[in-house]
Amino acid sequence: MKWTDEQLDKIHIRDLLQRCVIGIYDEERREKQDVVINITLHADLRKAGQTDDIDDTVDYKTIKKNVIAMVDGSSFLLVERLAERIAAICLEDSRVRRADVKVAKPGALRFARTVEVDIARTQEDMKP
Instruction: Give the span between the Cα atoms of 68 and 90, in whole angstroms.
Output: 12
Residues with Cβ < 8 Å from 22, sequence gap 6 or more? 28, 33, 35, 74, 75, 76, 77, 78, 79, 82, 105
The catalytically annotated residue of 10, 32, 105, 127 is 105
Q: Catalytic annotation on 105? A: yes
Q: Which residues form the catalytic set? A: 105
